[in-house]
Amino acid sequence: MTGLVTITLFLLPALVLFGLLVLAPIAVAMYTSVFKWNGLGGLPTQFVGLDNFTRLFSDEVFLGDLNRGALLIGLSLLIQLPLSLAIAMLLNQKMRGRAFYRLLFFAPYVLSEVITAVLFTSILSPESGLANQILRSLGLSALESSWLAEPSTVMTSVFLVMTWKYFGFHMILYLAGRQGIPKELGEAAAIDGAGSWAQFRYVTLPLLGPTIRISVFLAIIGTIQLFDLVWVLTAGGPIHSSETMAVTMFQFGFKRSQIGYASAISVVMFLISLVFALGYQRFVMRRDTEGAITSMRDQR
């Protein structure tokens, strides 16, 4: 009994903070999502049921948010993560200045999203921006664009900024996973006649599976919740062409004082994240979890 009391006392502060900072806001958002409320004058009283959710899924802007989120997720899985993996494999090789390059590629992740967005707002400026100046110096003036002000280029620009900001984080994950693979396995494969590509495909890549699955999970969840980078870069413009769900929620909640509708958006974001997280853990990461539990039991 004494041990149980000790464990409870140690867990209690964390449980209280979790309840106040996580569970309570979720409950408040679910409650206010069924009201029409501007956030003023005490508790909401105009009950509208599921009208906010009905409005949500008939709103072209929100449906566009879902499409843009899916686009960013797809680009991250097809371009950003493979790029991070390739750089990690390169920096795992013996080369001069390897530690410097690792630091250099990881540095963007250390910067805050706001600083990154302000930096690229200047770089992608139509007139004096570095991107257009480089194109002019190369004689490619025809490719100049208002990168963040044109609906046709804004999502590409946002994705490039996202990639610059976050690829270093995934690179470090892959690098750590690669260094956890025993060298003897690669040497054994080489003795059997496997070349560099065969070693990567049949030895390194399968053993990196748990790390890759974690990386994919973090990339998708991060994209679903993407806000500050987009808000500082474009504020969702032009004409909603770069809005995400979080930006739309902020627009309605803090700019238009439609707290009930913004709460409905937050509830949908939460449910999408929750369903994805539970499904991903159940069907994709199940083997990793079971393997970890088995390893712990074997150690005992």
CB atoms within 10 A of CB 279: 10
Average pLDDT of the chain to the nearest whole number: 91
Report the Cα 27 to chain-centroid distance in Å. Answer: 24
In the chain, the amino acid numbered 278 is: L
Burial (Cβ within 10 Å: 0-12, 13-18, ≥19) of residue 95: exposed
pLDDT tens by residue, 136-192: 888 888 888 999 999 999 999 999 999 999 999 999 999 999 999 998 888 888 888
CA distance 221 to 75: 14
pLDDT tens by residue, 199-210: 999 999 999 999
Structural domain contains residue 30: yes
128: pLDDT confidence band, cut at 50, 70 and 90?
Answer: confident
Residue 222's domain is classified under what CATH number?
1.10.3720.10
Question: What total of structural domains would you count in the chain?
Answer: 1
Q: Is 36 helix (H, G, I), strand (E, B) or coil?
A: strand
Residue range(s) defining the domain that contains residue 263: 20-299
What token pair was written down for 49? Answer: 């049921």
Check residue 44 and give its pLDDT: 87
Structural domain contains residue 11: no
Nearest to 246 by CA among 236, 256, 255: 236
Structural domain contains residue 93: yes
Residue 294 reports pLDDT greater than 50: no
What token pair was written down for 180? Answer: 């956890």
pLDDT tens by residue, 9-24: 889 999 999 999 999 9
DSSP bridge partners of 35: 47
Q: Omega into 238 within 30° of 0, i.e. cis? A: yes
Identify the sign of the CA torsion 19, 269, 61, 244.
positive
Check residue 234 and give its pLDDT: 94
CA distance 259 to 203: 52
Structural domain contains residue 14: no
Structural domain contains residue 240: yes
Structural domain contains residue 197: yes
Residue with more model confidence, 293 or 91 = 91
Check residue 300 and give its pLDDT: 52
Check residue 296 and give its pLDDT: 43
Residue 124 reports pLDDT greater than 70: yes
- Confidence (pTM): 0.91
pLDDT, average across residues 124-143: 88
CA distance 172 to 178: 10
Structural domain contains residue 69: yes
Residue with more model confidence, 290 or 149 = 149
Residue 285 reports pLDDT greater than 60: yes
Structural domain contains residue 5: no
For 128, residues 6+ apart whose C-beta sits below 8 A from its C-beta are none
